[in-house]
């Protein structure tokens, strides 16, 4: 992979992936998304996956996953731990064969043309895989040399990347002295020693403090500005909202929704009514009033005074406020706003972004990915 520290991905003989029912890599009319885009004069998708299936023992980590990633921009893959995000990324980046399904990356079959795919992509996982005994500069120069740069060119490239990542002052310190955020930025720099056409970022901000997360977000935006397509997996809904041009929501190995952040928010209702009652003891009274007035399910928030409900229009909100007042339930806050991605995810899956039953399989995939990168 161009610029990736995963330099030992298997290149031996592989059988062609068997195809899941309906997962031939074509549309219902027998035409791939890439072919349809070409006919329409539109940019071809960067990635097209159809019917991906992957099992670990009795656990089905991917269950017929379809994914079409447009070229350019950030494509977010959103889901809780164990939803299948890491497993999907390993398959798309040629590190793991699927049990069934078909994938093309940049028009290349990931099985028959795996080496060509690896030459045009890069992958950065959840855990930094740089050599801790080397300095930041030495790590990048070493990778540059392994990827074909002469020493002088690798040194120049390393210096530029360290500056771009805000690591110039720490360039000659051992990586083991770096903070978590610094290591993550160094790992991303390692992934773009040779600028890739597609960069896979697997939960790049997991465990980072807010400042470090914002620094990684800035780096992601700069990659896109230079023409790289970024596929970003995350369990942080605010991260997807901030970065992604389009988002695929995955749960239990299947895509359950896909669209722009705005489209996903609109899919669960035109607005969210947020209410805070003056007396927490009256919250359940407010629930009864709003349920009767709006004929919708009312959600209790962690704040003992707060609750929310989906509404279709502002007129419904005015009616709800009037009913609360009429029933003697005073409020300190009453606002109508757009749904958050947290509320979208809860509406789509029935649960928040927390560990699912498939977590063990996806965590195993993440651990295996880290081992391969360190090999």
Residue 21 lies in a domain: no
Query: Are residues 75 and 198 both part of a single domain?
Result: yes
The pLDDT tens digits for 190-230 are: 999 988 999 999 888 888 888 888 888 998 999 999 999 99
| pLDDT classification of 24: cutoffs 50, 70, 90 | very low
Residue 148 lies in a domain: yes
Residue 147 lies in a domain: yes
Query: Are residues 125 and 255 both part of a single domain?
Result: yes
Average pLDDT of the chain is: 82
Higher pLDDT, 364 or 73: 73
Residue 258 lies in a domain: yes
Query: Are residues 121 and 139 both part of a single domain?
Result: yes
In this structure, what CATH number is given to the domain that contains residue 210? 3.40.50.300
Query: Are residues 38 and 93 both part of a single domain?
Result: yes
Q: Is the pLDDT of residue 149 over 60?
A: yes
Q: Is 230 left (phi over 0), alpha (psi -120 to 50) or beta?
A: beta
Q: Cα angle vertex 60, ends 59, 63, to 5°?
A: 170
pLDDT (mean) for 300-319: 84
| pLDDT classification of 270: cutoffs 50, 70, 90 | low
User: DSSP class of residue 58?
Assistant: T
| pLDDT classification of 353: cutoffs 50, 70, 90 | low
Alpha carbon 127 to its chain's center: 15
**CB-based contact 331:324 (threshold 8 Å):** yes
Query: Are residues 79 and 219 both part of a single domain?
Result: yes
pLDDT (mean) for 281-296: 91
User: DSSP class of residue 113?
Assistant: T
Torsion, CA 203, CA 99, CA 7, CA 134, rounded to 10: 40
Helix (H, G, I), strand (E, B) or coil at 136: helix
Query: Are residues 253 and 283 both part of a single domain?
Result: no
Q: Is the pLDDT of residue 367 over 60?
A: no
Query: Are residues 147 and 240 both part of a single domain?
Result: yes
Q: What is the pLDDT of residue 281?
A: 94
Q: Is the pLDDT of residue 20 over 50?
A: no
Instruction: Transcribe 279-316 into DSSP letters.
Output: SGGGHHHHHHHHHHHH-SPEEEPSSTTEEEEEESSHHH
Q: Which of 132-136, 270-274, 302-306 has the lowest mean pLDDT?
A: 270-274
| Counted domains in the chain | 2
Q: What is the pLDDT of residue 335?
A: 86
Helix (H, G, I), strand (E, B) or coil at 255: strand
Query: Are residues 328 and 180 both part of a single domain?
Result: no
Q: Model-level pTM greater than 0.95?
A: no
Distance in angstroms (rounded) separating the CA atoms of residues 170 and 168: 5
Query: Are residues 239 and 281 both part of a single domain?
Result: no
Q: Is the pLDDT of residue 129 over 70?
A: yes
DSSP 3-state helix, strand, coil percentages of the chain (rounded to 5)? 40, 25, 40
The pLDDT tens digits for 55-111 are: 999 999 999 999 999 999 999 998 887 889 999 999 999 999 999 999 999 999 999
**Look-up: residue for tokens 């720490």?**
170
Query: Are residues 312 and 209 both part of a single domain?
Result: no
pLDDT (mean) for 176-194: 91
Distance in angstroms (rounded) separating the CA atoms of residues 228 and 45: 13
Distance in angstroms (rounded) separating the CA atoms of residues 347 and 366: 27
Strands (E), the chain: 47-56, 59-69, 74-78, 100-105, 108-109, 121-124, 198-202, 229-234, 246-251, 254-259, 271-277, 298-300, 306-311, 331-337
Distance in angstroms (rounded) separating the CA atoms of residues 350 and 352: 7
Domain of 273 in residue numbering reads as 269-338
**Look-up: residue for tokens 């997360």?**
213
Query: Are residues 172 and 314 both part of a single domain?
Result: no
Residue 10 lies in a domain: no
Residue 16 lies in a domain: no
Residue 18 lies in a domain: no
Residue 361 lies in a domain: yes
In this structure, what CATH number is given to the domain that contains residue 308? 3.30.70.1710
Report the percentage of the chain scoring pLDDT > 70.
Answer: 81
Report the percentage of the chain scoring pLDDT > 90.
Answer: 52
Query: Are residues 258 and 273 both part of a single domain?
Result: no
């Amino acid at each position: 992979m161009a610029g990736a520290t995963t330099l030992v991905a298997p290149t031996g003989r592989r059988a062609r992936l068997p195809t899941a029912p309906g997962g031939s890599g074509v549309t219902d009319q027998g035409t791939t998304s890439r072919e349809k885009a070409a006919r329409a004069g539109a940019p071809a998708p960067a990635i097209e996956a159809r019917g991906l299936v992957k099992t670990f023992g009795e656990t089905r980590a991917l269950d017929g996953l379809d994914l079409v990633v447009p070229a350019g921009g950030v494509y977010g893959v959103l889901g809780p731990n164990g939803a299948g995000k890491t497993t999907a990324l390993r398959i798309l980046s040629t590190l793991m064969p699927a049990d069934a399904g078909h994938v093309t990356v940049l028009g290349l079959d990931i099985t028959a043309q795996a080496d060509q795919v690896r030459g045009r992509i890069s992958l950065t996982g959840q855990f930094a895989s740089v050599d801790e005994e080397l300095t930041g500069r030495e790590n990048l120069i070493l990778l540059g040399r392994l990827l074909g740069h002469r020493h002088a060119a690798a040194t120049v490239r390393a210096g530029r990347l360290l500056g771009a990542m805000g690591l110039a002052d720490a360039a000659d310190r051992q990586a083991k002295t770096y903070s978590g955020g610094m290591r993550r930025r160094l790992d991303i720099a390692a992934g773009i020693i040779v600028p890739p056409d597609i960069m896979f970022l697997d939960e790049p901000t997991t465990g980072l403090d807010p400042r470090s997360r914002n620094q990684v977000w800035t780096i992601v935006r700069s990659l896109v500005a230079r023409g790289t397509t970024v596929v970003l997996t995350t369990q942080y809904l605010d991260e997807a909202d901030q970065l992604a041009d389009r988002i695929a929501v995955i749960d239990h190995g299947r895509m359950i929704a896909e669209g722009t952040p705005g489209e996903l928010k609109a899919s669960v209702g035109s607005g969210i009514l947020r209410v805070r009652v003056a007396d927490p003891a009256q919250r359940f009274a407010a629930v009864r009033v709003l349920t009767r007035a709006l004929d919708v399910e009312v959600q209790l928030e962690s704040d003992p005074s707060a609750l929310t409900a989906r509404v279709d229009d502002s007129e419904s909100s005015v009616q709800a406020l009037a009913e609360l007042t009429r029933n003697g339930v005073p409020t300190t806050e009453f606002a109508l706003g757009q749904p958050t991605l947290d509320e979208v995810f809860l509406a789509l899956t029935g649960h928040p972004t927390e560990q699912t039953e498939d977590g063990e399989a996806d965590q195993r995939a993440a651990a295996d990915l880290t081992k391969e990168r360190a090999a």
